[in-house]
Amino acid sequence: MKTFKSIMGWIIPIVLGLAIALLIKQFLVSQVKVDGTSMQPNLQNTERVWIVKPATIHRGSVIVFDAKGEDPTATVSKDYVKRVIGLSGDTVSNENGVLKVNGKVVNQSFISKSQRTSGTQNWSSLRALGTSQNWQRTVSVKVPKGQYFVLGDHRSVSNDSRYWGFVNKSKVLGVVKVTFWHSNPAKDNINKQWQHFFK
């Protein structure tokens, strides 16, 4: 009997610890690996970051979402990391590298001019997308209810809302946070850029 109690004395804490860890991962925070270069220079390929699941999503927040059903090329569940540019009801536009939300110029100091404009100056791809999704053929778009308009920071290589549309709120897995011990100031562009989204 003493042996049983002794065994249970160390098994129960382990089981409880595992259960708590699983609950935290399921409902609070988890770690993901960045796959690709679309968020450079602020996030690097294979970099590991944390996602906070109940966090509030702002314009400028970096999120992880399941791209299956959003991007037609994602035929199986796949995590995408992108920056939220437009919230529900926002009007997003871009001309000659000047990104605006509701007519206000977005502060894009978190990326270089070439990353803002290379291959994306007038969003010709967005106009083409507009035809397929019955948007007006303009360089602006209104974000539907319950959805987000997202872009990668490295615009010329990013596969994002310009090409396949919006991200449904239900597909969002969490908001990306970079741990405080990172010394690279670019990491503030992940955690805090939303606080000064407009110029």
**Residue 49: per-residue pLDDT:** 87
The helix (H) or strand (E) run that includes residue 126 is helix 124-132
Domain spans in the chain, listed from the N-terminal domain onward: 1-31, 34-196
Better-predicted residue by pLDDT, 117 or 178: 178
- Cβ neighbours, 10 Å, residue 5: 8
Query: Catalytic annotation on 38?
Result: yes
Query: Contact, 32 vs 81, CB < 8 A?
Result: yes
Residue 194 CB contacts under 8 Å (≥ 6 apart), including other chains: 58, 59, 60, 61
Give me the pLDDT at residue 111, please. Answer: 87
Single-letter amino acid code for the residue at 197: F
Q: Quick: pLDDT tens for 96-147.
A: 667 889 999 999 988 888 777 765 545 555 555 555 555 555 567 889 999 9
The DSSP element (H or E) to which 98 belongs, if any, is strand 98-101
Catalytic residue, from 2, 6, 30, 38: name it: 38
> Quick one: pLDDT band at residue 86, thresholds 50, 70, 90?
very high
pLDDT recorded at residue 175: 94
Q: What are phi and psi of 184, to 5 degrees?
A: -70, 120
Q: Read off the pTM.
A: 0.80
Residue 78, pLDDT score: 93
State which fold the 34-196 domain adopts. Answer: Umud Fragment, subunit A (2.10.109)
Percent of the chain that is helix, strand, coil (3-state, to 5): 30, 25, 45
Question: pLDDT tens for residues 22-49?
Answer: 544 554 568 888 888 999 889 989 988 8
Distance CA 66, CA 170 (A): 9
pLDDT of residue 23: 45
Tell me which of 82, 100, 171, 187 is the catalytic residue. 82
pLDDT mean over 161-176: 91
